Amino acid sequence: MELSKNMRNSIFLILLASLVLSSTRCKGGVTSTYRRRLEASVDMPLDSDVFRVPAGYNAPQQVHITQGDVDGNAVIVSWVTPDEPGSSVVLYGTSKHNLDKMKTGKHTQYKYYNYTSGFIHHCTIRHLKFDTKYYYAVGIGQTVRKFWFKTPPEVGPDVPYTFGIIGDLGQTYDSNTTLSHYESNPKAETVLYVGDLSYADNYPDHDNNRWDSWARFVERSTAYQPWIWAAGNHELDFEPSLGEKEPFKPFKHRYQTPYRASDSTGPFWYSVKRASAHIIVLSTYSAYGKYTPQYRWLEEELPKVNRSETPWLIVLVHSPWYNSNTLPLHGRRDHACHV
């Protein structure tokens, strides 16, 4: 019997809670009484308000940002234009009324079975000041939409910073409750996302419209603070019966990572530093045996962790590489634990 998505979420939350409770070094204690209910809830219908397409011709949608370099001076801004490529320009600046800097990115597009994506833009803006609020605009020349984000403080051992952790979000009614709960915490500055984003692959033919709806749903957070992405099994979208033989195709086109900055050779394993944390992202669904590119990268990466600079080492992985779990989930024996 397969555990439901919500049960897995619950297991993850319980594990997280037990980690917090059993920690002797961290005296954080229980910071929230929020518990997502155990019963499975259904996906929100496509005409739900959370999936609403922004008004205006070719209006940018699905706006999201992530860290764009190792130290936090760069941000990757991504968005989708539905009707035509439009502009890949990001205007930005520290004054809301004077976006005096400009960077031009690139756009991409992909097909998945009978689905063709919109025009997916990615633009990396660099040389940002630490600990600074930036305003930015996309859709230049057509329907312009404006957002903002705050850069992290400079990396160092005594830099307080608050991360949220979310995984397996999906797009059910409970997903909306979970995201609202996260947003209700004014301290939360960056999301560590431990994989399984849209669950589009649960739909017939992996209906990629559900990738679009998910990104519109989370835009209310992802446009304003970085989400650090790790890949889960629901990002694989490997379906030879549909002629789809390239693993991670939708995820790779939609969600960029700054992997080259940490000398990684693949987009699903990389590292960033943020405030007082060194964050290593790994992929269980990419080869990780000895002598694989991922394994070799990790071997090179671990000695770079400098606890006097970043006392916190956080490793994001959707399911553990090595374990003794015997639950047969997704045909794998390693899926019931996420951290």
Residue 334 sits in the site that holds Fe ion (CB under 5 A): no
Size of the site for Fe ion (CB under 5 A): 3
Q: Pick the piece of the chain touching Fe ion (CB under 5 A) from 144-152, 231-239, 252-260, 262-270.
A: 231-239
Return the structure tokens found at 178.
């979970």
Q: Which is nearer to Fe ion, 152 or 232 (CB)?
A: 232
Is residue 339 a contact partner of residue 13, using CB atoms and an 8 Å limit?
no
CA dihedral 187, 52, 231, 73 (to 10 degrees): -50
Residue 196 sits in the site that holds Fe ion (CB under 5 A): yes
Tokens 């403080």, located at residue: 153
Please count the CA atoms within 13 angstroms of the CA of 87 that sit on its side-chain side: 17
Is residue 51 a contact partner of residue 29, using CB atoms and an 8 Å limit?
no
Q: How far is the CB of 232 from Fe ion (least distance, A)?
A: 4
| 163-166/227-229 β-pairing | unpaired
Give the C-alpha separation, 147 to 170, whole Å: 24
> Which of helix, strand or coil describes residue 49?
helix
Q: Which is nearer to Fe ion, 1 or 30 (CB)?
A: 1
Is residue 104 a contact partner of residue 86, using CB atoms and an 8 Å limit?
no
Scanning residues 265 to 284, which ones bind Fe ion (CB under 5 A)? none
Query: Which helix or strand (DSSP H or E) is residue 148 part of?
Result: strand 145-150
The candidate with the shortest Cα–Cα distance to 338, out of 190, 195, 236, 235, is 195
Q: Which is nearer to Fe ion, 69 or 196 (CB)?
A: 196
Q: Which is nearer to Fe ion, 13 or 137 (CB)?
A: 13
Q: How far is the CB of 335 from Fe ion (least distance, A)?
A: 6
Residue 233 sits in the site that holds Fe ion (CB under 5 A): yes
Binding mask 141-180 for Fe ion (x = CB under 5 A): ----------------------------------------
Q: How far is the CB of 331 from Fe ion (least distance, A)?
A: 12
Binding residue (CB under 5 A) for Fe ion from 232, 250, 258, 266:
232
Q: How far is the CB of 99 from Fe ion (least distance, A)?
A: 39
Given the rule CB under 5 A, which residues bind Fe ion? 196, 232-233
